[in-house]
Amino acid sequence: MNRDYVFGRIYIWSIILIGTVAFCFYFKIPIASLEEWVLIYLLAGSVLLSNYFLVYLPPEGNSISMDSSIYLACLFLYGPYITMIVLSLFTIIYAVYNRKTQLWKHLFNFSMYCLMLLGAYYSFVASGGKIGLVNIQNIFPYLLALFVYFCLNISFLSLHFIISSRSTFKGVLNVGLLKEVAITYCITLLLSLVLAILLDSEKYFGLFLFTILITLLSFVFGKFIQLYRLVSERANCDYLTGLYNHGFFKETLKEKFSDAKLLQQPLSLALLDLDDFKKYNDCNGHLQGDKLLKFFGDLLQKGAEGKGYVVARYGGEEFAVLMPNTKQEEAFLFMNRLRKEINDTYFAGVEYIPYRCISFSCGIAEMEKGMQDCGELIHKADQAMYYAKAQGKNNVQIFDEHNISLSALEFKEDLDALEQQVKIFLSKDVYTYRHSKRVFTYALEMSDRLDLTDHEKQTLILGALIHDIGKLEVPRDILNKKGKLEPHEWEIIKKHVIWGKEILATEKRFEDVLPLVELHHERYDGKGYPYGLKGEDIPKLARMLCVIDSFDAMTTERPYQRTKTFEEAIIELRRCSGTQFDPFYAEKFIELIETKYLPRIKEQMSG
């Protein structure tokens, strides 16, 4: 059992014990005269009302009960005994009314008030105050009593907080909070003097006036709070989707970030971007696009319900989910399940976008110990999201330093541009499209295992994505032909490397990628096409790409080849290493497959 919890309990029950003993010490029979009883009834009723009609103060969550005013006024005029009877009567009725609250909470409250009142009473009497009349000539005892009451209250509550959550206590008594509380208390305590004067001169009617006043104030302030909530909701929420907006999200993130840091709890952030939303908008109109955003927002909200996640619209079609107390693996499972759910949810107009369903790409990052600023978390999630986009969209990625290149943004633009071109294959030849994507993934993973500069890495990745672009020029019936290819058809196929180079050469920024496209079918032994280059004459990136390209060609179904398993393909790579492939790169690639893919396949087979 938690040590703090035990100490907290000991503290609470000792306060209850002291308070109850003090009360019993004062208790006597008969309790009061009939006239006093009338007073007790009215005061208790008044306390009940003021507890029911709390006066709310912005900012939210702050409310004051005027019951302290009533107790103190009662104390000044009628002494501690009557006051404590009123208090106990109130506690009994309130405990019956609030049956759901645990009894010890009522008891603790009762005891705390008992001790506070006694403290105020003794300091009042000791400093020369007289019970029974309001003497404004000597105001000091009143002020002292109020001060003692205030200090006792603050110390009881903060002691409770410190003891019961000591391990996480990092200075709750900040000055700003104390100031705010002090003002609230001043209101309560000054009102107690007002009530005392009213009670003194008009008795029941004075109390009646006071109670009515509190009730009306509570109504009025309640309206204000409602208005405040409405306005702040509007300020914090995105108008279209009803989710939180960017500004509020950033604020919340900052808060949760420092909380998580303090409490050493995990914190995960998921950034997601609707796939092909621009295309959807173009095909269906912006009104329908808005509807999709709203629909998606609702789905997201519903999915995150009851988990304590903060869901926000981060930008145009970007959304963010903040997951306190969640590890990135959990976050991944959650987002991936959500992604599948959303894929299966039909929405009018999705026929026009490539995946033919609503989909999103999502990047997840978890707070790490070294992080100083929540901006880092956003940045990482953002990079992971771009990586997910680059992986062909509709997937979820956890941030991993190895997967994200350095000038991510610029690279992403290039990638997007090439991606657009590769996409043409979707309608022409889906095999080539998928093949390009997979080769791209292999290249991405491979680039980290090779001793390459960042620029070389990026060139390899871009080249892998675009290497077969020349096949656009090859007629469909040749690409999709089931039987063996005629020699002249082979000649056409072979030309795709030249055509690809020509297509890509139109844009200057892809200059470095050209050799990869042109030379990825050259062989190490010089028997490849188009030029028959040999050995080191072939650029190393092209040699690498050749290995990857061939491996994927072997392992996936294509119109003119039988499928090999990964193991078979590895054997084939080894066999042709030194003739078709550069032995060094072939071995490097086999290493990647063996460490990263084979275990996974085995798992799937056994699972």
Partner 1 sequence: MVYDGILLSLLIGFFRGGNLKGIAEMKLRGGWLFPILLVIEIFIFILQNKIEIVAKLSNGMFLVIYATGLVFLWLNRHQPGFTVIFAGVLLNFIVMLLNGGRMPVSVEAAQFLGREYIEALKAGVYGKHEAITSATWLPFLGDIIPLSPPYPRQQVISIGDVVMNVGAFIFVQHLMVDATKEEETKAVPANQ
32 binds partner 1 (CB under 8 A): yes
Considering only CA atoms, which of 82, 92, 156 is closest in space to residue 121?
82
Give φ, ψ of 326 to 5 degrees.
-135, 130
Looking at residue 418, its amino acid is: L
Q: Are strands 360-366 and 267-274 parallel, antiparallel or unpaired?
A: antiparallel
Strand-pair partners of 273:
318, 361
Cβ neighbors of 501 (< 8 A, separation 6 or more) are 470, 514, 517, 518
**Least distance between partner 1 and beta carbon 375 (Å):** 45
Give φ, ψ of 57 to 5 degrees.
-125, 135
Cβ neighbors of 178 (< 8 A, separation 6 or more) are none
**Least distance between partner 1 and beta carbon 126 (Å):** 32
**Least distance between partner 1 and beta carbon 198 (Å):** 15
205 binds partner 1 (CB under 8 A): yes
598 binds partner 1 (CB under 8 A): no
- Which residues in the 33-62 window bind partner 1 by CB under 8 A? 34-35, 37-38, 41, 45
Among 4, 9, 26, 31, which residue interacts with partner 1 (rule: CB under 8 A)? 31
If the CB atoms of residues 45 and 530 are measured against partner 1, the closer one turns out to be 45
Token pair 């061939």 is found at: 550
Instruction: Tell me the window of 29-37, 240-248, 272-280, 542-550 that interacts with partner 1 (CB under 8 A).
Output: 29-37
Give φ, ψ of 267 to 5 degrees.
-145, 125
User: Which residue numbers are catalytic?
Assistant: 317
Tell me what percent of the chain is helix, strand and coil, each rounded to the nearest 5: 70, 5, 25
Helix (H, G, I), strand (E, B) or coil at 404: coil
Peptide bond into 324 cis (omega under 30): no
Cβ neighbour number for residue 368 with a 10 Å cutoff: 12
**Least distance between partner 1 and beta carbon 27 (Å):** 15
122 binds partner 1 (CB under 8 A): no
Distance between first and last Cα of the chain: 39
**Least distance between partner 1 and beta carbon 296 (Å):** 23
**Least distance between partner 1 and beta carbon 26 (Å):** 18
Q: Is residue 466 within 8 Å of 511, Cβ to Cβ?
A: no
**Least distance between partner 1 and beta carbon 166 (Å):** 42
Instruction: Tell me the window of 30-38, 139-147, 258-266, 356-364 that interacts with partner 1 (CB under 8 A).
Output: 30-38
100 binds partner 1 (CB under 8 A): no
- Which residues in the 515-574 window bind partner 1 by CB under 8 A? none
Q: Is residue 518 within 8 Å of 497, Cβ to Cβ?
A: yes
If the CB atoms of residues 37 and 347 are measured against partner 1, the closer one turns out to be 37
Give φ, ψ of 605 to 5 degrees.
-65, -45
Fill in the DSSP letter of residue 188. H
Instruction: Tell me the window of 32-40, 76-84, 251-259, 539-547 that interacts with partner 1 (CB under 8 A).
Output: 32-40
- Under rule CB under 8 A, how many of the chain's residues touch partner 1? 9
CA distances (Å), origin 372, targets 49, 213, 266: 49, 50, 14
Dist CA 56 CA 64 (whole Å): 6
- Which residues in the 431-450 window bind partner 1 by CB under 8 A? none
Chain positions contacting partner 1, by CB under 8 A = 31-32, 34-35, 37-38, 41, 45, 205
